[in-house]
């Protein structure tokens, strides 16, 4: 993931979170290239940081000097010995003191090579015992294809590293508005009594893209929209929306509550799932003509506990749709005794726009200005682009890489959390893989299959007509 990781490291460097005297960056892969070649490739990904445009080129030059490259196989001793030698030489050149051998390995690799790479790191590249310090491993999704493969992968890595050393990264947990969810829920008095089945009718968690697989058809077809987006990104969001207040903000206390939510999710019913595949998907030469892989899915998850019994969580994700956005939409129940006869205009909704145009707004009913007593839908709006114009909002990878350096695992997926997530989705995924459930065709640029809107309506979602939220202009 050089397009994400190196810009994140550069921005952390430019803002002073990592120092040139403390950090050195080593690239390792099979391709035989020079330090200069790697630096040239990375340079094109490094865009100016907000507020530091004038010194950009100087900053880039200084940052690139921190990068070295070692070539080697993923399963051979020789290459990892060379990597260890290069790291050790750097540590000695800095007159490293006790506790200063801190080694962070970011595995931007296919999951199939995680076990051999981890074995090589464990055998040849651990931090030097005479310097103390730590070794940490960052692995990216997908963490397996189902419960069995995820557990096998976890067991193989777990034999080599302790759980506190393993950081399973899901970049959605680094997004600014996702990080705000716990603050909103647990630091605001007026949300506390409302956030339950007595007041909330349904909750939608939505991910929409207005483009297709764009050259990634072969990769995407191995996983599909559920494995790629819903089972990880959207499920992580659901945990933060639905969890109980943790005892403290210690990472393990937070992750304990997330696991409890996942363990309370009921099995997914086939009649509460709509799958879709956009027309033209199989035209990609890397996709099989008879592919059953969904590029769209809407499903209802139900949480069997005191707070959420009876509240449907409607999960939506799709490619080649009519818009690009990710948001959480909390829809409240109708007002009892509606004296203004305005229910048909729409319900109160609390909307958290994760991307783009980060915002949160409360959709509510107000009096239409004028002499007549008529009502209309409007909003109380906090749009980040307007409210925080001078604030640098970090990219998700910046925040998460900094957390790994600091040793904070709150925003990373724990092994039992990963297992609980796969337990929810594996039966459904196996039915799809066996061809027992078929995706419905839909036109690119549409909302997806009409059946998906019908499912949401059946689950209790009431669509607002005649109201569109418009992001404020600066």
**Is 219 in the same domain as 138?**
no
**Is 135 in the same domain as 194?**
no
CA-to-CA separations, 248 to 128, 166, 201, 251, 254, in angstroms, rounded: 34, 22, 29, 8, 7
SS3 for 99? Answer: coil
**Is 163 in the same domain as 263?**
no
**Is 193 in the same domain as 253?**
yes
**Is 134 in the same domain as 202?**
no
**Is 161 in the same domain as 44?**
yes
Q: Is the peptide bond before 366 cis (omega within 30 degrees of 0)?
A: no
Q: Which range, 43-52, 142-151, 262-271, has the best average confidence (pLDDT)? A: 262-271
- Cα-Cα end-to-end distance for the chain: 33
Query: Tens digits of per-residue pLDDT, 313-362?
Result: 999 999 999 999 999 999 999 888 877 777 677 788 999 999 888 889 99
Q: What is the pLDDT of residue 254?
A: 93
Say which CATH number the domain at 418 has.
Answer: 3.30.360.10
Residue 403 lies in a domain: no
Tokens of 153: 């992968």
**Is 202 in the same domain as 164?**
no
What distance in Å separates the CA atoms of residue 359 and residue 191, rounded to the nearest whole number? 17
Q: Which residue has the tokens 């707004």?
A: 361
**Is 146 in the same domain as 229?**
no
Residue 469 lies in a domain: no
Query: Tens digits of per-residue pLDDT, 241-250?
Result: 999 999 999 9
What distance in Å separates the CA atoms of residue 133 and residue 127, rounded to the nearest whole number? 7
Domain that holds residue 241: 173-394+413-459
Q: Taking 80 as the threshold, does the pLDDT of residue 465 lie above it? A: no
Single out the residue of 159, 154, 232, 238 nearest to residue 416, CA to CA.
154
Exposure of 319 in the CB half-sphere (CA atoms within 13 A)? 22
Query: Tens digits of per-residue pLDDT, 111-142?
Result: 889 999 999 999 999 876 655 688 999 998 88
**Is 232 in the same domain as 287?**
yes
Say which CATH number the domain at 38 has.
Answer: 3.40.50.720
**Is 248 in the same domain as 158?**
no
Instruction: Tell which of 150, 170, 190 closes a domain.
Output: 170
What distance in Å separates the CA atoms of residue 39 and residue 35, rounded to the nearest whole number? 6
Instruction: Tell which of 154, 170, 186 closes a domain.
Output: 170
Q: For the residues 207-233, what does the mean pLDDT come to?
A: 91
| The total number of structural domains that make up the chain | 2
* 233 among known catalytic residues: yes
Single out the residue of 397, 374, 333 nearest to residue 466, CA to CA.
374
Tokens of 226: 């559920």
Catalytic residue among 11, 56, 171, 233: 233
Q: Taking 70 as the threshold, does the pLDDT of residue 169 lie above it? A: yes
């Amino acid at each position: 993931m050089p397009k994400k990781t190196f810009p994140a490291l550069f921005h952390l460097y430019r803002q002073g979170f990592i120092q040139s005297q403390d950090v050195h960056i080593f690239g390792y892969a099979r391709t035989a290239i020079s330090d200069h070649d790697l630096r040239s490739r990375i340079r094109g990904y490094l865009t100016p940081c907000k507020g530091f445009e004038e010194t950009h080129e100087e900053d880039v030059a200084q940052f690139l000097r921190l990068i070295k490259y070692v070539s080697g196989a993923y399963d051979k001793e020789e290459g990892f010995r060379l990597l260890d030698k290069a790291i050790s030489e750097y540590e000695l050149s800095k007159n490293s003191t006790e506790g200063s051998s801190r080694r962070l390995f970011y595995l931007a690799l296919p999951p199939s090579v995680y076990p051999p790479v981890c074995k090589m790191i464990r055998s040849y590249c651990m931090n030097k015992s005479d310097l103390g310090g730590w070794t940490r491993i960052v692995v990216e999704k997908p963490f397996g294809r189902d419960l069995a493969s995820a557990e096998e992968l976890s067991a193989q890595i777990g034999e080599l590293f302790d759980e506190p050393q393993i950081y399973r990264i899901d970049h959605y947990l680094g997004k600014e508005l996702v990080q705000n969810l716990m603050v909103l829920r647990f630091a605001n008095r007026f949300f506390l009594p409302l956030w339950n089945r007595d007041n909330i009718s349904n909750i939608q968690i939505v991910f929409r893209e207005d483009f297709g697989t764009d050259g990634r058809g072969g990769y995407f077809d191995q996983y599909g929209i559920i494995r790629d987006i819903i089972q990880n990104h959207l499920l992580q969001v659901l945990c933060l929306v639905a969890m109980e207040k943790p005892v403290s903000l210690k990472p393990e206390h937070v992750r304990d509550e997330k696991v409890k939510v996942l363990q309370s999710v009921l099995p997914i019913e086939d009649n509460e799932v709509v799958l879709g595949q956009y027309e033209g998907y199989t035209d990609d030469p890397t996709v099989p003509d008879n592919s059953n892989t969904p590029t769209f899915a809407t499903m209802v998850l139900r949480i069997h506990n005191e707070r959420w019994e009876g509240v449907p969580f409607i999960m939506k994700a799709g490619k080649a749709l009519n818009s690009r956005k990710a948001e959480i939409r909390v829809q409240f129940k109708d007002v009892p005794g509606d004296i203004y006869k305005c229910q048909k205009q729409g319900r109160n909704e609390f909307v958290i726009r994760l991307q783009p145009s980060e915002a949160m707004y409360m959709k509510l009913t107000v009096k239409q200005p004028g002499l007549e007593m008529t009502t209309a839908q409007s909003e109380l709006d906090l749009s980040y682009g307007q409210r925080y114009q001078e604030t640098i909002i970090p990219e998700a990878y910046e925040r998460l890489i900094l957390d790994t350096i600091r040793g904070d695992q709150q925003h990373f997926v724990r092994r039992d959390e990963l297992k609980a997530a796969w337990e929810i989705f594996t039966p459904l995924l196996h039915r799809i893989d066996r061809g027992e459930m078929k995706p419905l065709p839909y036109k690119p640029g549409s909302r997806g299959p009409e059946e998906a809107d019908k499912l949401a309506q059946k689950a209790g979602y009431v669509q607002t007509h005649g109201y569109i939220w418009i992001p404020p202009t600066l």
